[in-house]
Amino acid sequence: MKLDYLLPYKEKINLDFLNSLKEDCDKWIDRKSNADLKKLLESLPEVEDHELDLSQDAVVIGNSSSGKRKQYIDLARELIPWRKGPFNFYGEKIDAEWRSDFKWNRLKNHVDNLEGKTVLDIGCNNGYFLFRMAEQKPELLLGIDPVIQCETQFKFLQHFARVPNLHFEMFGVEHIDSFKEMFDVIFSMGIIYHHRHPLEQLINIREALKPGGQAIIETIGIPGDESYALFPEDRYAKMRNVFFVPTLSCFINWLKKAKLIEVEVISATPLTFEEQRLTNWCPPPSQSLEDFLDPNDLTKTVEGHPAPMRFCLKARKKPAQNAQKNS
């Protein structure tokens, strides 16, 4: 299936490349290792009832009095582990590893009004934040994440939620340069430290924004007043794919070096066991924050690095010159 929903924006994107990329990504579900996910998606039942409330901390999808409630919840359990949430799914709380509503509540009052806007969420996981954004009725919501489990959970939820103008593609952060001045708002939450080139990523985000557009960037970080970043030799909190873990001042400087303006701190908070933990919907053998920290010194990771904080910043792309002159 081609990216027909992006045709209205074809002047701002490399549509041929993205269609080719989507064609490749859509084949991932056919791999033998994904047979169970493919079977689940192909067997999704028709939805006879429809209830949706996007304003709650636990996104409400489905009516708890549905006669097919147990069938639907059993299908959701087949997609364990759930990393992002919470969702109220047909009256059952999908209590995911992450209380993503904590993060959303920290930043929601700092985000531009999304009504009628084009929005990108980089590394969107199963789409929890997209569903929260959809309450404001943007013109287009696009989430990208090159993980088949995330796509499957999103497709599962969207099958029941049926939110208009909401889309998921298995594109990566390295594909953002296929969009030029396309989005009013771009979210990048918990992504930048997983990639080798944070400045390049921020520059690509800036280029993908419309003039005057807003970026919401969130990362793990470390304490410290000076502008520096930890570069772990091997793992950080048991993660191999962690490269630069900045102090807050370093993080601010990254955004300024990328020529984003109006850089402001939304939040700088310690990461707690209340926000990230194992649950019945993300049970062992999965691991979570408690497994990543030194049990004898919770200010350090198991490797001896400073324990993670969460930093969230907002910034803006410079408005167009003509717009500045006419204002």
**Mean pLDDT highest for which of 60-74, 112-126, 308-322?**
112-126
Burial of 1 (0-12, 13-18, 19+ CB in 10 A): exposed
Whether cis (ω within 30° of 0) applies to the bond prior to 285 is yes
Q: Are 293 and 277 in contact (CB under 8 A)?
A: no
pLDDT at 327: 44
pLDDT at 322: 62
State the pLDDT confidence band at 165, using cuts at 50, 70 and 90: very high
Q: Is the pTM of this model over 0.85?
A: yes
Displacement of CA 72 from its chain's centroid (Å): 24
For the chain, give the number of residues: 327
Burial of 294 (0-12, 13-18, 19+ CB in 10 A): middle
- The whole-number average pLDDT for the span 45-57 is 90
Three-state SS for 169?
strand
Distance, in Å, from the CA atom of 165 to the CA atom of 283, rounded to the nearest integer, reads 33
- The whole-number average pLDDT for the span 37-58 is 92
- The whole-number average pLDDT for the span 35-56 is 92
Distance, in Å, from the CA atom of 157 to the CA atom of 124, rounded to the nearest integer, reads 14
Both tokens of 325, joined, read: 């002159």
pLDDT at 326: 46
Distance, in Å, from the CA atom of 283 to the CA atom of 82, rounded to the nearest integer, reads 9
What average pLDDT does the chain have?
A: 96
pLDDT at 229: 97
Q: pLDDT for 184-234, tens place per residue?
A: 999 999 999 999 999 999 999 999 999 999 999 999 999 999 999 999 999
- The whole-number average pLDDT for the span 125-137 is 98
pLDDT at 324: 52
Q: How much of the chain, in percent, has pLDDT values that exceed 90?
A: 94
pLDDT at 168 over 80: yes
Burial of 271 (0-12, 13-18, 19+ CB in 10 A): middle
- The whole-number average pLDDT for the span 5-22 is 97
Distance, in Å, from the CA atom of 274 to the CA atom of 237, rounded to the nearest integer, reads 17
- The whole-number average pLDDT for the span 43-65 is 92
Distance, in Å, from the CA atom of 63 to the CA atom of 72, rounded to the nearest integer, reads 11
Q: Which residue has the higher pLDDT, 65 or 59?
A: 59
pLDDT at 321: 82
